[in-house]
Amino acid sequence: MHWSLVFMLVLGVVALCAAADLPPLMTVEEALGLPRAEPDHRIDYGPEDLNFGELRLPDGPGPFPVVMVIHGGCWLAEYDLGYMSSLADRLAGEGFATWSIEYRRVGDAGGGWPGTFVDVAAAADALCGLAEDYPLDLERAAVVGHSAGGHLALWLAARPGLDPDNPLRGAEPLRFRGAVALAGITDLAAFSSSSGCGSAVPGLLGGEPAEHPERLPQTSPIAMPASGIREVLVVGGRDPIVPISQAELYAAARSDGAVQLVEIPSAGHFELIDPGYGSWTEILRAVQSALDISDGPRPCGGGPESSVHSD
């Protein structure tokens, strides 16, 4: 059922909004129909068919600040990186190099636990190798994700805090300057449900959260160690898919003041990824804020270089 149920829910909210004289919310089909801008480069970051990313570069010599972009879609194989290409392209137009990634998802061979996390980690670490060939400034690197991709963005932010021997962490995980979650899922246990997007959580974790409690501190941002970097959670005030409580509880759980919560009252779930929507200024400001950290450790360690191949 998944996004078909979500679509029905959105239609119900649209009807209520019309009755209240509010603008209708963007539907799933409208989001999937956003323009799909071609990338400058399509680059493999690993051996699997879905281990690739799209690199877009601004005009000029660089080096450019980098934004890694992670698409959502309930972690499901049915939805790919294409619907985020408008956002990635617009960010490139604003002066950011963008690395929009694909990865194995629930329903793909090897997707879910642990393949989805392995892929996303490898895609992030591949930036260290890409910076050898492209004008990327990894001292100014942020990760941006939408919905399930927002969950993965926050996961990447916290990944360096996992135990050093945890294979999901890796020997030298890329350390981002900041993270932006657009309608991000922060608490997998609380989000898990028998229907809608939450029904994909067991596939992501390899079982119900209660069956694998040891996996939550490795995968659910709210249960992981605080990242210590700037995190911006952007939520739509009328989001019918990911409740605002996901962001509110996460922000409340972090007492270090590094989490900023931004609510866009008129937006639903998908407006946040549409550069043509009125909230674009807030999204751009969130990305800029995530990168506004003056010091910190070097992002790439001294481990083996990532292997990347460009077509």
- Whether 160 contacts 175, CB under 8 Å: yes
Question: Which backbone phi and psi does 310 adopt, to 5 degrees?
Answer: -105, 140
Q: What is the pLDDT of residues 249-276, one digit of tens each?
A: 999 998 777 899 999 999 999 999 999 9
Percent of the chain residues past pLDDT 90, beyond the cut: 84
Query: Residue 218: its pLDDT value, please?
Result: 97
Query: Residue 132: its pLDDT value, please?
Result: 97
Asked whether the predicted pLDDT for residue 17 surpasses 70, the reply is no
Asked whether the predicted pLDDT for residue 18 surpasses 80, the reply is no
CA–CA gap between residue 84 and residue 37 (Å, rounded): 9
Query: Residue 258: its pLDDT value, please?
Result: 80
List CB contacts of 264: < 8 A, sequence separation 6 or more.
234, 235, 236, 237, 271, 272, 279, 282
Asked whether the predicted pLDDT for residue 289 surpasses 70, the reply is yes
Q: What is the pLDDT of residues 99-134, one digit of tens each?
A: 999 999 999 999 999 999 999 999 999 999 999 999
**Bridge partners of 263?**
235
Average pLDDT over residues 224-243: 96
Query: Residue 310: its pLDDT value, please?
Result: 43
User: Which CATH architecture best describes the domain 29-293?
Assistant: 3-Layer(aba) Sandwich (3.40)
Where exactly are the structural domains of the chain?
29-293
Q: What is the pLDDT of residues 148-162, one digit of tens each?
A: 999 999 999 999 999
- Whether 223 contacts 213, CB under 8 Å: no
Percent of the chain residues past pLDDT 70, beyond the cut: 87
Q: Which of 4-8, 126-130, 196-200, 272-276 has the lowest mean pLDDT?
A: 4-8
Q: pLDDT band at 297, cuts 50/70/90?
A: very low
pTM above 0.85, yes or no: yes
Query: Residue 58: its pLDDT value, please?
Result: 97
Mean pLDDT of the chain: 90
Among 139, 171, 146, 145, CA closest to 157:
145
What residue type is assigned to position 154 of the chain?
Answer: L
Q: pLDDT band at 214, cuts 50/70/90?
A: very high
Q: What is the pLDDT of residues 31-43, one digit of tens each?
A: 999 999 999 999 9
Distance of CA 162 to the CA centre of its chain: 19
Average pLDDT over residues 271-282: 95
**How far lies 114's CA from each of 172, 187, 206, 209, in Å?**
18, 17, 8, 14
Query: Residue 166: its pLDDT value, please?
Result: 96
Query: Residue 298: its pLDDT value, please?
Result: 55
Query: Residue 5: its pLDDT value, please?
Result: 42
Cα dihedral 68/275/258/152 (nearest 10): -40
Average pLDDT over residues 13-41: 80
Question: What's the start-to-end Cα distance of the chain, in Å?
Answer: 36
Q: pLDDT band at 135, cuts 50/70/90?
A: very high
Average pLDDT over residues 272-286: 95
Query: Residue 4: its pLDDT value, please?
Result: 43
